[in-house]
Structure 1
């Protein structure tokens, strides 16, 4: 049970006894319904927030894995751009497999359409300025290696926006909703 509903239920049980003795139209049953509705609203808001935050968490974990694989203390510009390009084009192989599996003349599958949109959005973001933890700083790379995978600790990292031309500028975290 959720927190508000549990608290309200405990208070009513303490005062009245088992919940089966509460009348359907009583104040206590209205309190229970109101607590249940509030918990439902809060649950929806939390799920929506988590859904919006997840892409940045996934992106950061991708770069954390690439740091661990390469073992580099700080990336130079070419390595940084190569890591970002590998992130942007990570779905290309799956996209090619889906295209080859599709019979000629058939429309694209939902997964293929989703991947097209995702790849196009990542490429557009890369042209305008790709939001990523700063991998050129040794301190930030070591902090990223120690990152525990939660949204809360992402703001302790330094973030930058880098374009495909290599222009690097500092960025604020969390990013603004555009």
Structure 2
């Protein structure tokens, strides 16, 4: 990850010798500090990008697992809608357990609040159009089954938006941040 810092350090060592000979206020030490700061910025950007991409990777992994469990080569409309509903309502059992475990009159736990927000977001997206890999196409189902779990290969899949009424329309991937 410290690619810039390593390259800069290597150039300075090649020019000056061991790193202990660099003066604290010299141009070379400024180059090193600048390279270190750049690597830090790039690391933060990569972390935030991965955090944004992870929900879609998890979503594709869920549907890949459902394909492997069922062994279906192509989903019809009812099976497709049932698979999407199972994803949207995957946290219902855990939420019920947390509610039952909580004593009367006590505030909700942090985990319960997080699940509430996540469930509300999934429900709203499902009403407006839930982004999923197209499971109604046999080629896409086989491609999803062979998917290696990385963000890089998700754009090779066809994606659709499915509403709670069962309507589906083609969608672009990655989704636009409107």
TM interval, short-chain normalised: over 0.9
Q: Normalising by structure 1, what TM-score?
A: 0.98
1:109 aligns with 2:94: no
1:112-127 matched pairs, under 5 angstroms? 112-127=112-127
1:66 counterpart residue number: 66
Determine the C-alpha separation between the residues in 2 that align with 1:127 and 1:95. 21
1:2 aligns with 2:2: yes
Could you say what the CA RMSD is over the residues aligned between the two structures, in angstroms? 0.7
Unaligned runs of 5+ in 1: none
| Range that drifts further, 51-60 or 92-101 | 92-101
1:80 counterpart residue number: 80
Unaligned runs of 5+ in 2: none
1:50 counterpart residue number: 50
Determine the C-alpha separation between the residues in 2 that align with 1:140 and 1:63. 12
Aligned residues: 178
Residue deviations 1:13-36 (CA, integer Å, cap 9, x gap): 111111111111000000000000
Determine the C-alpha separation between the residues in 1 that align with 2:128 and 2:173. 17
SS at match of 2:174: coil
SS at match of 1:165: coil
SS at match of 1:169: strand
How big is the shift at 1:93?
1.0
SS at match of 1:23: coil
1:16-35 matched pairs, under 5 angstroms? 16-35=16-35
Q: Normalising by structure 2, what TM-score?
A: 0.98
SS at match of 1:152: coil
Determine the C-alpha separation between the residues in 2 that align with 1:111 and 1:24. 48
Determine the C-alpha separation between the residues in 1 that align with 2:64 and 2:6. 39
Determine the C-alpha separation between the residues in 1 that align with 2:161 and 2:10. 50
Determine the C-alpha separation between the residues in 2 that align with 1:23 and 1:94. 59
1:98 counterpart residue number: 98
Determine the C-alpha separation between the residues in 2 that align with 1:91 and 1:20. 56
SS at match of 2:86: helix
How big is the shift at 1:113?
0.3
- Moved segments of 4+, more than 6 Å: none
